[in-house]
Chains A and B, each alone.
Chain A
């Protein structure tokens, strides 16, 4: 087989390669790519069926921006019950909604940042939710019948989130409370690492209902916590706790509060609250409000 080096090293070969590649093809040509999912921008408005103060919107294939605009419009026009069907991944549902006495029912899996910055309404998700639920939520009620993802309730300032199933990592980070603004997260299943990281107020309750084997919470629980409280129904080993928290048996007033929370949660989720309350809870609390006070020198 002959070596074909001649075109490689010869001086004149470079002249062949000195030709610029020419103007690049640009501009719109070709077939328009198909719009096949709700995640892609564009598309029509959702069809709406109204009956009194209730409206049903079919979210199939509707982009989140249009869908959320329509939800706001319907509420402005007097709807107090909004039902969303065929939701697959639309983001920001409930984001920034500031209305009292409004309920949004979601059939399907809503996208990220559900109820972010929300102020008042009730959101019910009949299946699983994704990440970022109730991000910096101000007030309102979020009920999730399935599981929820990571970073739930980040910077939550009020309102409640009830999850029937499990939640992921970094739940309840930097929750804050003042006066009557008391945020609450109740998890029916288990939570993973970094639960309640850097909490500055509020309540987190984890019930561990469906698994006797799986750990109810992960590691680094309450790391950096300096206010607020967590009630865990299940065993927690010392090594799972963050450096700033201690574990204790709930006092009488704690028990009363636990019962109050559990009864309301079970009523919403259709569970037997007495069965749930039969198992003992542990209380996790910060033992100082100034965990980093000794760290710095001025």
Chain B
């Protein structure tokens, strides 16, 4: 007799019967319908196989009676044929399907940020106290000219050359693109309100711009992806800048992915596709098959928007430096690098886990290549892909980035527990779902305050780091690899990063 499935439950729900108040709240809170309420015994009964460890029930249980444990089903130890791989084979044998997952690469590849240490000043040059002294973190993203022409007019200096339009950020942190469709409208609202309050920017992602976000349009970057969802002239006029999405770190080389479960009526209207169908953005833009085609699209967008800044988002792959150089020469004002740890709402597991390169290497090589060619000022570098804290931001800037974008971290601030089930559309936290009973769980004002808190906290931490480094302006850290040392990295990696080993 063939089994229904080989796959064991991954987690086990453990309810402390003493503490359980039998309120039944867990039943309603869970988006994956783990619980049923046994009326006879007056207690919640969990179906362990459905639990994804999102902890919604844990957080909302008034008696704190629930905990989630790993299902410690013992497998014979094997470093090669691990339980995860065995389960993957079972899943595919039972369905014939491509394995899909959410969020970012969780495999144990080297985390380079964790092997970089920052400098501090002592004795020979003084550190600066960020609590009492000015610490400047204002950042401008866009194309800067090689030089500035100044004439004297009525005894006062006057600028002759007109600079290209820039995006002004009060902190070197912005929000990365997450499409409406992959996340809920309330998440977009939270991001927009927070961006405006922080003086930074959010990004619509490839799902279009909902009308509710119109008051915040000066703080929104609109994205033009290969599916061209929601791209009309109002959309292009609304944003402060336009971003062409060529790729993203979680799934380099393949297209966008919105399973039909997440295409409700509103999403279908915004994207102009049938409800319930899968929204697969094509892998390449079908009008970009070579670098001069990208240039053609960049200037088409500039012509259509009266020369707003155009950003190009690329995934970090092996020859990212050469690609970035080409993209900058094609006319991009901002280049957005997405490393292999970047998150996603849905991607085939094989692509998410095995394709791409780390953002640290990408920043270092792109920054160096642009300097070698003398074109570093033509575009600003935004780094993204698993930026987890202010230390990562500071190190990324020291390696050469102008600013960092956060996606996963922003969602975590809104309650995400990184359970990697975004693609199912059943997010109990109301973040990456379109089900109305779930999406109402995020209040936009509350969400915005969470995000503002997070970014403020990180900004203060970066100010502390700058103070310790003895600089009071972020320009003096940007690209200053001299302030970093590597610990436990091999020679080749250190050379590529342009960072000395600790001790030298």
Contacts and interface: CB of A to CB of B under 8 A. Distances in A.
Interface of A: 65, 68, 91-92, 95-96, 98, 112-113, 116-117, 119, 131-132, 135-136, 138, 151, 154-155, 157, 170, 173-174, 176-178, 181, 197-198, 200-201, 224, 226-227, 289-298
Query: Which residue among A112, A136, A292, A298 has the maximum number of chain B CB atoms within 10 Å of its CB?
Result: A298
Contact of B273 (A112, A200, A294): A200
Query: Which applies to chain B's interface (DSSP): helix, strand, loop or mixed?
Result: mixed
A197 B286 contact: yes
Nearest to B277: A289
Given A136-B228, A181-B272, A298-B100, A116 B278 contact: no
B478 to A, nearest CB: 28
A292 B273 contact: no
Interface stretch (B89-97, B320-328, B447-455): B89-97
Interface in B155-199: none
5 contacts: A96-B233, A112-B296, A117-B301, A197-B286, A297-B94
Contact of A91 (B95, B268, B299): B299
Given A95-B304, A135-B300, A117 B236 contact: yes
Nearest to B231: A136
Nearest to A96: B304
Contact of A154 (B99, B228, B232, B268): B228
B300 A116 contact: yes
A153 to B, nearest CB: 11
Interface in B216-259: 224, 227-229, 231-233, 236, 259
B424 A298 contact: yes
B95 A119 contact: no
B371 to A, nearest CB: 18
Contacts of B296: 91, 112-113, 132
B172 to A, nearest CB: 31
Nearest to A155: B228
Given A132-B300, A200-B272, 16 more contacts: A113-B297, A113-B300, A116-B304, A117-B231, A117-B304, A157-B232, A176-B229, A177-B272, A197-B286, A290-B276, A290-B278, A292-B278, A292-B280, A294-B97, A296-B97, A297-B98
A239 to B, nearest CB: 23
A168 B303 CA distance: 25
B287 interface: yes
Contacts of A112: 296
B145 interface: no
Interface in B264-310: 268-269, 271-274, 276-278, 280, 282, 286-287, 296-297, 299-301, 303-305
Contacts of A292: 278, 280
Interface string B96-114: 1111100000000000000
Contacts of B98: 295-297
Contacts of A157: 228, 231-232, 272
A151 B274 contact: no
Contact of A297 (B91, B236, B271, B272): B91
B233 A174 contact: no
A92 B91 contact: no
A257 B504 CA distance: 77
A155 B272 CA distance: 10
Given A154-B287, A155-B228, A227 B304 contact: no
Nearest to B92: A297
Contacts of B303: 65, 68, 92, 95-96
A181 B233 CA distance: 14
Contacts of B299: 91-92
A225 to B, nearest CB: 11
A181 B232 CA distance: 11
B313 interface: no
B260 interface: yes
B103 to A, nearest CB: 14
Contact of A151 (B91, B273, B286, B300): B286
